[in-house]
Chain A
Amino acid sequence: MSIPEFDTWARCVDWLEGELSGQDVSTWIRPLSVKRLPDRLLVTAPNRMVMERVRADFVLSIQRAWLACDGADLPVEVSTATEARSLSGAGSSPTSGPIEPERWTQNGKLDPRYTFDSFIQGKSNSQARAACQHVAESPGVAYNPLLIYGASGLGKTHLMHAIGNALLARSARARVVYVGAEQWVNQFVAALRHNNTEEFKSFYRSADALLIDDIHFFAGKAVNQEEFFHTFNTLMDGRKQIVLTCDRFPKELDRLDDRLKSRFSWGLTVSVEPPDLETRVAILLAKAEQFHLSLSTEVAFFVAQHIRSNVRELEGSLLRLAAGVRLQGETISIEFARHSLRDMLAHYERLVTIDNIMGTVSKYYNIQMKELRSPRRNRSLARPRQIAMSLARELTQHSLPEIGAAFEKDHTTVLHACRTIAKLREEDQRVREDYENLLRQLSF
């Protein structure tokens, strides 16, 4: 869009906000771009589905908006961006027009940030890293194919990209092809449909190095396994390097052709394990430097002790800390980290219901749950009941009548309970402690 078109379109969108719902404007109008031609308004949608929806429901509104903002009454023509690439790989329905074939020449790019230098080595991944480095130095010689396996988020893809980047650094003209297995499958299906499997085959079989991520996705897809088997053989015969990743030991993959499994074992299979505490600390410190974030070893240890599952989560926690620091300008103390990372710790958002409040409170005071609902008013029951009602008020979004009903009481009883407990928490240390203990048990 040129600048005047751009300004007019901005005013049109404002105008349409008065006509359409906020949801429709956000979903169907904002992603459009507009070009004014002498005799019509050319509106470009990101994909066919948006195009069809806009054609069906919004063309007249857009025409009116343009008339109101620019004074020109122009017919509106809606099309899709021809450069729009298919992400779903599912293609469009055959009735909705010509289908763009998947273009395998535009596979996922190698991420230049994933190098051996930026990979933090620890006990859990040193063997995998050494093998990858060896492959990057002498591709197609030993360790072919190289298969890296391990759970998601432990650095398999990082190592694979590092090999690709190192190969390109050695020879910029090397044909390094990187593709996700699921993408390969979609591309192959599209190639079959469009009768250009020859092109597909020659593209993959002429690679100098073929890097395929997540081959567990081949499981159960016999035709693809067959095609991959032949590609594999061609590349191996030509002494081209193959690198694969998988989320488990390949022999354990169900519905994968035994011929493939046996070929994978020709080369080297290495695993990446979840990082140990020291490695997690090293990863945090290295990433903090990368994000220009000042992080003490003490805080890094604190974070590493709490975020244990995978490397990606460590990165997320660091970004969360960075956001907090940028916005609040505090230095990162353990207290600050504890507060910021509440959102990261999965236990936090446990859904609290009146039922589990009643269960927790009755266990805490060693009484039966049904006694919380009973009409008896002696203090040993009344106090826990009042505390449970106050907790329900604080931790759930139920109304007083709803809370009352759960305890088989009137809503005024709940209101009275909340007031009593609020007062007692000020005055009576025992009540305060009980309440806070219960609050902790219920919300963390």
Chain B
Amino acid sequence: MSVLFYGFLLFASALLIHVIIWKIHLPTHQKTILLLLFGGTLAVGMILFAANGKLINFFGISVPRALSEFLQLFIFFSSLSLAYMVTYSALEADSPSLVMVMAIAMSKKEGLDEKTFNIKINDEVLLAPRLKDLVSEKLAYIEKGKYKLTAKGKTFARIFFLYRRLLKRPHKGG
């Protein structure tokens, strides 16, 4: 019971700190800060439990004490944090499918005609921001007007390329 309760408590604390910081000031390197924040909360929580275990007792539930409980807490908290972080990345950028669905939903019962649809959703909306992202995240750089991959970008591209081959998926996604 202690891992479930204190795992959720730590995760809720990290989420709360994250929302408070984001409300005060939106960080420039959001993913890095998020990673540090969740990692830091877990580390501080585990140190507190290990050092002051006998003093902490909510609703009669004692904190994790055994090594196996700490390991389970680590896996539990890390899994929840990773799941939140991948969801967060979906919040940062506008998903084309969601943009399309919302554009259609805004037209209500009248429906959205094909022409308006194509005017609203174009290269400027769908691709220009993602190209900027590649450069800002140091996955690519611009040289003489051409986009080129950095070593980090090449590694990323190869991982997905190989995994798609492993799953026998068509050559390119997108």
Our verdict on whether A and B bind, yes or no, reads: no
Chain B residues engaging chain A, CB cutoff 8 angstroms: none
Chain A residues engaging chain B, CB cutoff 8 angstroms: none
